[in-house]
Every structure is written in structure tokens, then in C-alpha cells.
Structure 1
């Protein structure tokens, strides 16, 4: 389609002035990948012009953004969805960030970044820094360490009470009968730039984010399933019941997560996320399904019950008070879904995420700029590409090896 015609349709749709025939033409045009690539360029040009003129009214652009983003469903496979009486084929879009919304001091600035179009690289003295990937270190009960990144599929260890199998980047514990009464513990650790998934002996699934760890028994007992975590982890806990015996009813075996030796999260069968990085402002437990109880480990203990969509926060400043509030589940679960979610995130907090995922160290040349971001970016984006996106806010970076220096910002 002619570029001028696309411009006309874009302006008409933005203003809500398309006729029925023109709207049908617009919808048909939007189905073409090459058209959306052209729209990316047109919209970025208009946004830059808005920034230069000081006119940051984004209201007219909301219908355009909503329509474009509706075509960018983050699914691995195509699916069909009924929309406005038609069936649209939903495709996995290859844009590194479907929309990067950068909050500036004077308003909001929208950008689109095409993953196929490599941005100019940030100056660096070494080769490009790739994003993180699957990998972890497993420490066995006898102290031996195994780097899971370098192992192939198959049985990687036999612990007293469990068989440990690696398959397609996931670690599986299968509980075996054991005559040994002494509890054996294993620890899985993800360094910076790595993440990993593990299935515990009871079938509970755990996803570890970068710079995290989980310590667990290779064989759970009949009274309590207890593990210890640091960093960030998402749990899908398997409900476990002991069968009825004589006149005793079936007993649910509780699952307890000790977080940084400061808080216990007690569950019977549920899904939740724990963020307990020591350099973050708080320990956050967020419930996505089921019911959990959180309890501080110091007396007098503070307790709180969570319902789905709620988050319990315990500040990392020595405070013993648990604060319960509604959570932004999209932001909490972004890391597990392969995204950076920078909705209302400060530059300083965003840099903490980059340090862990890209295994870099961040320094500030002239203090921390007061810049806040909003938007989502794929965690598969290389570091240089991501920094180019963030530089649209006015902040500048210098990358020397694995040291990233924040130079300045508006």
C-alpha cells in the first residue's frame, strides 16, 4: 500500500474520522506485518516531533496503541480470538518491545522498537553482552557442585532418597525409598545472568530468577515440607495429603518457604512469587492462586493472610511490620514471562534488574538521575539494544567491559 495512504488512514483513525469503508481498509492494512513496520517508523517520527515541540498530549494516540498492541499477544503459538465480530489470527510478534512507554518530566513519550532492526550499539570496549539464559549450580549433600549449564540430559546424581534428572534445561527430583533417617539437603543457585526451573521431590515446581537460590531436602517428611530461598522465585506448590489411616482423616502436609531467614510463607497448594533480593526495598510475597499465610521469624511475630492478587511486603530496613496491598501481577510475573516490566519504575530500580540479568555492575558518574520509565521490553534483547531504548529518556551510558556507567539524564 502507498505510504501516503497509510499516513492518511493513521491520522484518520487517530482522530476517529474514518468512514466505514476506510475503517475496513485500515483493519485490512493492519494485518500486514510490513505495514506495522512502516507504522512503527511513522509513529516514532511523530513522537519525536511532539517531544521537540513540547506537545506531549498522548490522548489521541491511545486508540492507535491499543489497536496495535491487540495484535501483539505474547503467546508462543498462534491462536484465534474473537474480536469485533471477526476472527483475527494472533501472531507472535518479533518486536523486542511492542511498546516502550517512557515517562518524561513533561509528559509521556511512546516508542516502538523492531527486534529485526538492530539499534546503533552503545560504546563498549568488549564484545556485545548477551541477555541471561538458563543455567544454575547444584550443590549436593556432600558438597560436590555441578554446573547444570554444561550437562546433557539424563541422571546427574543419586542422593540418598532421591534421583536427580536433567531434561531439556529443567531439573527433576524423584523421591525414592530410603533407610537413612538423616535429612539430606541440596542447594540450587543461579548466578547473575542465569535462571532455572526445578521440580522438587513432592512435585512442586520452582522457577529461580537470576542471583537466587533454593535449599531443600532431597526427601520430604510427613509433617512439613520446608525450603529456604534467597533472591526471587516463583512457586507452583503441589497439594500433598497423607491418606486416612484407621480413624484418622487424611492430613494435608503444609509447604513452608523460609525467605532470607526473615519470613515464612505457609501454603497447602498454591502459586506465588517471592522477591527477596537484599538490595531491594522490601521482601515481597505475591499470591497468584490459592491462599497463603506469611509470618515474620522474629518475636513478636507479624502475620498476614493473602488472597489472590495481593502482596505482602516486609521492608528491608529492619521494620517488622507486614504491609498487605493489591499487586500488579503483570509487573510481578514479568521476569517469568520473559519481560522487563518498567511500568512506573525508577532508573535506579531498573538498573538493579539489569545488573542481575546481564551480569554487569552499574555505577553513577554524577548521582542517580530522577528518571522514571514505563513499558515492557523483552529479556531476550541484548544489552546494547536495551540501552538504546532507555537513552530515549535523555539518560546516557558508557559500557566498559561489564561495568555500565550512567552518565547523565534530564
Structure 2
């Protein structure tokens, strides 16, 4: 393919003007090794030119492009002795990153820009992303829907006032009076929901989709214990006289004051505790380990500790993004399934790994389109089911 034609296809893609046949042609040529040099030249010219309207200035564009090129070069060098198929897969990830930068900066983030006919096939209306929504279950069984509840005081439990703030988060204020029985509340998020809560001790908690937090309305003296399901991130308020304990699927995490994430979804192979700051002790089936920042404990039959994990990617969900780097497609689709509240069916076995960096606010069709541009996969969406094919 001549450079001029490739640039034309890219321009039409960014202008949301590319026909389905043109998109297929572009994808095919992006996957071919013979187009590497041409693609690099085209993308470099596109980023350096003013033809693509974008909020990033020229220096930012140049930095983004150089970082992508450096990563691609490192991947090629690291895999020089591996089979060609693997090298092509790695290059495809770099190509996808370039296209995502162009499409994300120049097309998607431009206010009001619309995407049309070349998205993955949908039988009906597009599937929208999740949002801030949850249900608060009080000790007496009352249920309060938090996404539609009025702001201000929601309930009173003894000396504790439960309120929803203007930014939508849940706040507990008060202490447990001496002699008063401890009562427990539960916050649960549905598939396609997330929520933030501040506990009575000042600890801040973020719940991912399809997760729950079971906790005392007021912590008794010398003790702070909660139970979780799904994925929950904690910023624990320091209190030397009262350790903070999290229980999830037979795993116990104990801290004094720190920042950490617990992933305990039942469809994941292990309970993963990832430490961002401070230190934690993770116990499982009679064994325990201490984590340092950047470490992750994977509890299954035993506890496996990984050092220097990619905490930025792991915490992307809390910051409103999907961030996956060279991850199996099945792992990525489990995240997508929970956030968009859809079912995923693999019709073909796909062993390639994928990389994606995108906002969690995008409709489902846009996210799937980015994955399709990486090559090797096609999606069909029927109502609330995604069918994954080669």
C-alpha cells in the first residue's frame, strides 16, 4: 500500500468517514510486517502536523509518539529470537497503541464527535458504561438505593449519622456508645456500578462493579473489621490502637494505615491483594506474608508474592480507565463484562494477548472497536451478550 493511500485511510478513519470496506483494508495492512516503516512515517507526520485537531500541543504529541516508538523498539529487541508470530503480535500491540493515540486524541476526546457504521455489529442500541450506583442495606433490613437517593441525611443508627454528599459518596459520622450493640451495614454495587464510601473511622473505600462491603455502622473500641466481595480499594485511616482487618474469600489482610487493593471476584483464580503504600500482612490457610509497596499477594491454595507489579494499571478502574498491557483477552473480557453488565461467550479460542488504554466512560462499541483494531478478534453484540470470534 502506498504511503499516500494509507494516510488517506487513517485520515478518513479519524474523520469518522471510513467505509466498512476501507476499515477492513486498513486493519489488514496494519497487521502486515511490510507496512511497519510506512506506518511509522505516516503516524509521525500525522502527529507533527496540524491536520488532526487535538487538545494536546505539538510537544505533547511528540513525546507520546517517541514513547510509543521506544516501547515498540524494546519489544522487537526483546523478542528477536522468538517465533515470528509472537513478534508480530507484539508489533500489533504497538500499532494499536499508535492508532489509539490518534483516534483517542484527535477523534474520541473531541467534544461531540460521533462514531458510526464501522463499530462492532450491534443488534440494538449500544451498551452504555457503568455509573455510580449502589444499594445500602441497613441492619434492620431497610434498603436505600444510593444512585437515586436525595442528598443529605439518609438514616440515623444510634449515634451514627449516614449521609450522601453532594459528590455522591456515602459518609458515616459518629461513634459507638459504650454498651451499645454493634450493628452492621452492607453496601453492594451491581454489575455496571461503582461507589465510594467513607467509614466511621475516616477510612476511604472504593467499590468496583459487582462488589460489596460489610462493616459496622460504628467501630467498637480497639477493633476495625470489614468483609468484602468483588474488588475494593482502601485508604485506611491510621489508628495504632486498632488494626484494620479485611476478610475476603478466606484471606485476611491486616493493616494499621495504608493504601491497598483487594480483588476477590469469584471468577478470578485467586484473591489478589496489591499494596500501594505502607505495609500489610496477608494471611491465608495458616500461612502469612508481609507485603511491601508495589507487591501483590495471590492467595489460592498457597500464597504467591509478586514484586513490582504494575500498580497504575491495576488501579486504573478506580481512576475511571481500563488499562491492560499484554493481557490475555479472557482476563480483559471479564472486566468488560462486569462494567457493562453483559455476558461474554467465546466461540473461538484466542490465545493472543492485548493492550488497551481507554476511559471506562465510553460506550461498549467503541471499546470493542479498539480491541478489533489490534487484530485477531471480532465481536458480535446481541442485546446483552458479546460473542467473541477469531
Q: CA deviation at 1:52?
A: 3.8
Q: Does 1:258 align with 2:247?
A: yes
Separation in structure 1 between the aligned mates of residue 180 and residue 38 of structure 2, nearest angstrom: 65
SS at match of 2:313: helix
Q: Does 1:51 align with 2:48?
A: no
Q: Which residue of 1 aligns with 2:115?
A: 118
Q: Which residue of 1 aligns with 2:75?
A: none
Q: Does 1:329 align with 2:311?
A: yes
Select the residue among 270, 279, 285 that pairs with 2:273: 285
| C-alpha spacing 1:402/1:193, structure 2 compared with 1 (3 Å) | same
Separation in structure 1 between the aligned mates of residue 88 and residue 190 of structure 2, nearest angstrom: 34
TM normalised by structure 1 equals 0.72
Aligned-residue CA RMSD in angstroms?
A: 3.4
Separation in structure 2 between the aligned mates of residue 144 and residue 49 of structure 1, nearest angstrom: 58
Structure 1 or 2: more strand by fraction: 1
| C-alpha spacing 1:268/1:103, structure 2 compared with 1 (3 Å) | farther
TM normalised by structure 2 equals 0.75
Separation in structure 1 between the aligned mates of residue 327 and residue 205 of structure 2, nearest angstrom: 26
Select the residue among 330, 343, 361 that pairs with 1:361: 343
Q: CA deviation at 1:169?
A: 1.1
Alignment map for 1:28-39 (pairs within 5 Å): none
Separation in structure 1 between the aligned mates of residue 308 and residue 268 of structure 2, nearest angstrom: 19
Q: Does 1:162 align with 2:160?
A: yes
CA contact (8 A) 1:119 1:385 kept: no
Q: Which residue of 2 aligns with 1:311?
A: 296
Q: Which residue of 1 aligns with 2:364?
A: 383
Q: Which residue of 2 aligns with 1:105?
A: 89
Alignment map for 1:229-268 (pairs within 5 Å): 229-241=228-240, 252-260=241-249, 262-268=250-256
CA contact (8 A) 1:122 1:397 kept: yes
SS at match of 1:368: coil
Q: CA deviation at 1:374?
A: 1.1
Structure 1 or 2: more helix by fraction: 2
Count, aligned residues: 328
Separation in structure 1 between the aligned mates of residue 321 and residue 87 of structure 2, nearest angstrom: 18
Q: CA deviation at 1:179?
A: 5.1
| C-alpha spacing 1:166/1:356, structure 2 compared with 1 (3 Å) | same
Q: Which residue of 1 aligns with 2:144?
A: 146
SS at match of 1:278: coil
CA contact (8 A) 1:206 1:233 kept: yes
Q: CA deviation at 1:180?
A: 5.0
CA contact (8 A) 1:57 1:107 kept: no
Q: Which residue of 2 aligns with 1:246?
A: none
Separation in structure 2 between the aligned mates of residue 327 and residue 137 of structure 1, nearest angstrom: 32
CA contact (8 A) 1:302 1:322 kept: no
- The superposition leaves residues 108-147 of structure 1 with CA deviations (integer Å, 9 ceiling, x where unpaired) of 2232222134253432233211111101011100111111
SS at match of 2:252: strand
CA contact (8 A) 1:129 1:383 kept: yes
- Further displaced range: 349-358 or 177-186: 177-186
- Further displaced range: 197-206 or 380-389: 380-389
CA contact (8 A) 1:202 1:220 kept: yes
Separation in structure 2 between the aligned mates of residue 312 and residue 339 of structure 1, nearest angstrom: 23
CA contact (8 A) 1:343 1:375 kept: yes
